[in-house]
Chains A and B, each alone.
Chain A
Amino acid sequence: MKGFLEKILPAFFILFAFLIPVLTQDTYYQHTLNVAFLFAISVYGFNIITGITGQFNIAHAGFIGIGAYVSALATTKFLLSFWIALPLAILVTGIFGLLIGYPSLRLRGVYFALTTLGFGEILSLVFENWIPVTGGPMGITGIPAPTAIKLPGGISFAFDSKIGFYYLCLIFMLLSIYVNRQLLKSRLGRAMLGVRENEDLAQSLGISITGTKIVAFVLATMFLGLCGSLYAHYFRFISPVSFSVAETFRHVTMLIVGGKGTLLGPLVGAFIFTALPEILRSIEDYQWVAYGAILMVCIVFLPKGIVGLIKDILERLSNETVGKK
C-alpha cells in the first residue's frame, strides 16, 4: 500500500501540475505559480548545501544574481540565444561557487558562512557600482524571452507567454526535485548528511569532508545559476535589489519553515511564502519583522519544518495503530 501510494501520488501531482494552465486561464494565478516555481528551484539549491550538507550560504541571492546577470548580458550585449545563455549562466555560477567554496569550505565552523556573507556584500557592491556592465542601480532592461523551440513537423514551443514559461519552470523545478531525491538516496547524499551531522564521525568512515562540501556547494550554485537565468528571462528586467543579502533571508526562511534537508520542504516553503504575501497584502510593512520572528521560532520549536512535523505526526499515528493491534 505504502509503496503504491508513494508511486501514484507524485505521478498524480505532476499530471495535475501539467494540467493547471488548462484548468485556469487566470494570468494572475499563473504568474504566482511561476514565481513559486522559481523560488522552489532556488530553495532546492539552498537545500543541497544548507539543508543536506549543513553549511550556510549567505551569498545565496548573490549567486542567483551572477546567473541572472550572466544570462542577461549574454543575451542583450552578445546577442546569444537563451539556450546558450542558460548553460553559460549555470557554468559561470558554478565556477564562482568553486572559487569561493575552495578556500572557505576547508575549514570547519563558521568560516564558510563568514566568507559567503562577505562575498554576498561584495556582489551587491559590484552589481551596483560596475555601471558600464551591470547598469548600476538601474539594472538591465529589455532582456528577451527564451526563443521558441521549433520541432520538425511545424510544432513549436513558445516561452514568451506566462503559460509557456510555466511549463519551462515546471520542468526545471521537477528536475531540481529529481536531483535532490537522487542525491538523498545516493552515497554522495549520505556523505553530505554525515558531514552535517558529525564531521569527525564522517571523516572516520573515510568520507572526504572538504571534497563532499565542495561538490555540494558547486552543485547548489549551479542550481542558483539556473534559477537566476530563468528569473532574468521571465521578468525581462533585473536590478541589484533582487540579489542582496536580505533576499537570501527570504529564501532561507522558505527552506527552514518548509523543512531543511527534506525532499518536499523546499517546495512547501516556496509555495507558502509566495502565497502568504499575496494574501496578506495589508500587512506588507511588517513582513520582514514577521519573517525574522517566524525564523527564530521555527529554529527553536520546529527545527525540521512543516514537512518534518507532518512526517513525525504520521509516524506517531501509524505507530499508535500498530500498538492497538
Chain B
Amino acid sequence: MNGLILGGAYALISIGMTMIFGIMNISNFAHGTLYMLGGYCIYFLSTVYGQSFFLAVAISMFIVGLVGIAIERIVFRPVYGGPVLNDLLIALGLTFFLENGALLLWGSQTKSVKTPYTDVILHLFSVSVTLQRVIVLVASLVLIAALYVFLNSTRFGKAIVAASQNPRGASLVGIDLTRVYMVTFAISSGFAAAAGALLAPIFYVFPTMGSTPLLKAFVVVVLGGMGNVQGAVVGGFLVGIAESLGGAYISSDYKNVFSFIILISVLLIRPQGLFGKSQSS
C-alpha cells in the first residue's frame, strides 16, 4: 500500500521529466527543485495563510508552473541544440541557485505541513492508512488521467504528442514549437509541484527535499523509457513498490540503493527501458 502511494507521487514527478526529455531532449536535473518549490508553496499557503489543502495544491501547481515557464525562457532556451553537457551543467547551476536561495530565504529547519487529513485513519482491506496517503494516491491518479485526456483529445495536447514524436515534422505542419515548449515546461513543473505539495504533509519541507525524488524520477524515467509518458506512470508504481518491499524486507537504511540497483540493471540489460523503442545506433 505504501508502495502504491509513493508510486503515485513518483509517477507525477517522472511524467514531467520524461515529457521534457521527449520533447526538448533535455534531462532536467533541476526538476527536484520544482518539487521543493511545491512543498514551500503548500507550506505558506495552507499552514501560514490557512487556505484549504486542495485549493492550496492547485495554487501551488499554478505558481510553480509559472516558475517553470520563466526557467524555460531564461535558463534553458540558450542551451537548446547545444551539447548534452551544457544542459546538465546549467540545470545543476540552477539547482544550486534555487536550493541555496530557499535556504537563505526560508532557513534550514524543516517545516511541517498540517492538514485535517493526516490524523484520520482508514481501514481498507485489513490495512490501515491515513486519509492523507489515500488522498496522495487518488490525487495523483486524477492528475495523470487529466493529463491523458488533455494529450489525447485536445488539439494542443495532440500538438505536444506530435512534437515529442518528431519536432521537425511538427513544426513543418504549423505547430508552434515555442508554445509547445512553454506549455510542456509549465505542465512538467506543475506536476512536480503537485507531488511536492501532496507529499509535504507526510514528509517535511526543507531546501534539499528535492534531491531524493529527483534520483527516483530518473530511475523511473530510465525504467519506463526516456520520453515515454505511459512508461513513466508504470515505472513510477514499479519503483515505489520495489522500494517499499525492499525497505520492509531487506534494509530501510539503504532504501535508495534499491532504486540504484534497478537503474544499473536496466542500463545493462535493457537501456531503452521497459517500453522504449530500441536505439537505432
Contacts and interface: CB of A to CB of B under 8 A. Distances in A.
Interface string B53-77: 0000000000000000000000100
A285 interface: yes
B92 interface: yes
Contacts of A50: 85
B90 A296 contact: yes
Interface stretch (B5-13, B93-101, B114-122, B193-201): B93-101
Contact of B259 (A113, A118, A291): A118
Contact of B271 (A111, A249, A256, A293): A111
Contact of B264 (A58, A103, A295): A103
Interface string A186-197: 000000000010
Nearest to A288: B100
Interface string A292-317: 11111001100100000000000000
B209 to A, nearest CB: 14
Contacts of B268: 103
B88 interface: yes
A181 interface: no
- Size range of the interface on A? 35 or more
Contacts of B29: 113, 117
Contacts of B264: 103-104, 115, 118
Contact of A252 (B79, B86, B89, B256): B89
Interface stretch (A11-19, A119-127, A140-148, A170-178): A119-127
Contact of B257 (A113, A122, A252): A122
B260 A122 contact: yes
Contacts of B254: 125, 129
A54 interface: yes
Contacts of A252: 89, 92
B256 A107 contact: no
A289 B84 CA distance: 23
Interface in B222-277: 222, 226, 253-254, 256-257, 259-260, 263-264, 267-268, 271
B135 interface: no
- Counting chain A CB atoms within 10 Å of each CB, which of B92, B100, B101, B257 scores highest? B92
Nearest to B87: A110
A256 B271 CA distance: 30
A56 interface: yes
B93 A292 contact: yes
B219 interface: yes
B211 A118 contact: no
Contacts of B84: 54, 109-110, 113
Contacts, number: 118
B228 to A, nearest CB: 15
B215 interface: yes
A310 B25 CA distance: 32
Contacts of B128: none
Interface residues of B, number: 44
A129 B92 contact: no
Find the residue from B100, B219, B253, B256 having the highest chain A CB count within 10 A: B100
Interface in A84-106: 103-104, 106
A300 B88 contact: no
A114 interface: yes
Contacts of A253: 93
A4 interface: no
Given A56-B88, A299-B93, A108 B256 contact: no
B88 A54 contact: no
Nearest to B89: A299
B27 interface: yes
Contacts of A291: 93, 96
Nearest to A245: B211
B169 interface: no
B174 interface: no
A299 B90 contact: yes
Interface string A269-303: 00000000000000001101101111110011001
A303 B95 CA distance: 19
Nearest to B265: A103
Interface string B104-126: 10000000000000000000000
Contact of B94 (A245, A296, A303): A296
A300 B90 contact: yes
Interface of A: 50, 54-56, 58, 103-104, 106-111, 113-115, 117-119, 121-122, 125, 129, 196, 245-246, 249, 252-253, 256, 285-286, 288-289, 291-296, 299-300, 303
Which 5 A-B residue pairings sit nearest by Cβ, starting from the closest? A292-B97, A295-B93, A292-B96, A288-B100, A296-B93
Given A55-B85, A121-B212, A288-B99, 19 more contacts: A50-B85, A103-B267, A103-B268, A104-B264, A109-B27, A110-B27, A110-B226, A111-B267, A111-B271, A113-B88, A114-B218, A121-B211, A121-B256, A122-B256, A246-B96, A253-B93, A292-B97, A299-B90, A300-B79
